[in-house]
Structure 1
C-alpha cells in the first residue's frame, strides 16, 4: 500500500509510527511526470500495514492513498479501416 504526502516530515512521522506498530514502512521521493522542480515532488510511504491504519495517517497528515491495483482496461475498440462515405461517389 502506498500513501502520498507533500511534506517530508509528515511522511517520516507516518513511517516512524507504522514501524513502531510492527509493520514494514519506508519513505521515498515520488517523481511526478512533468514536474521539474525537485522540491515539488511528494513523498510516498510504502508499507504492508492494513489499509485502515494508513487511511487514518492520510487523514491526519493531509495525504492521499495511491491505489496499487491497475485501472480496469476495456478490450480495444473495433474501428473501421477507412472513413465512412456519406455522399455518393462521382461518376
Structure 2
C-alpha cells in the first residue's frame, strides 16, 4: 500500500504530526516538499508520509491547517464502445 501524504506549512506542525502518528503505532516521517519553480528553501512546505489510514492523517492536517494529498488519480473508467460502421438513416432527403 502506498503511503498517505499530508502537507504542512510549518516544520514544527509536521514534526508534531509525525510524533503523534508514531505514538499511535504507525510508521511516519517528515520531508521537505520541493515545489517546482520555488527557489526559496524556506518557502517549501513539509510532507508527512505515513502508513496510517487516511482518516487518521486527515484529522491531523485539519488540526494543523495542512491538506491531505490524496493522489487525485481519477477512477478507472472503461472505454466507450464506438460503432464500427456508419449508421443507416431511414428515409430520404430532398424533394
TM range (shorter): 0.7 to 0.9
1:72 to partner: Cα distance: 6.1
Unaligned runs of 5+ in 2: 80-95
Cα gap change, 1:24 to 1:40, in 2 (>3 Å): same
TM-score normalized by the length of structure 1 = 0.75
Unaligned runs of 5+ in 1: 76-91
- Asked if 1:16 corresponds to 2:16, the answer is no
Aligned length: 75
- Asked if 1:25 corresponds to 2:28, the answer is yes
Could you give the per-residue CA deviations for residues 48-81 of structure 1, whole angstroms, max 9, x where no partner exists? 0011111100110000011235346999xxxxxx
TM-score normalized by the length of structure 2 = 0.72
The structure whose Rg is larger is: 2
- Asked if 1:62 corresponds to 2:71, the answer is no
2:73 and 2:10 map into 1 onto residues whose CA distance is 26
What is the RMSD computed on CA atoms of the aligned residues? 1.8
Task: For residue 32 of structure 1, give the secondary structure of its aligned residue in structure 2.
Answer: coil
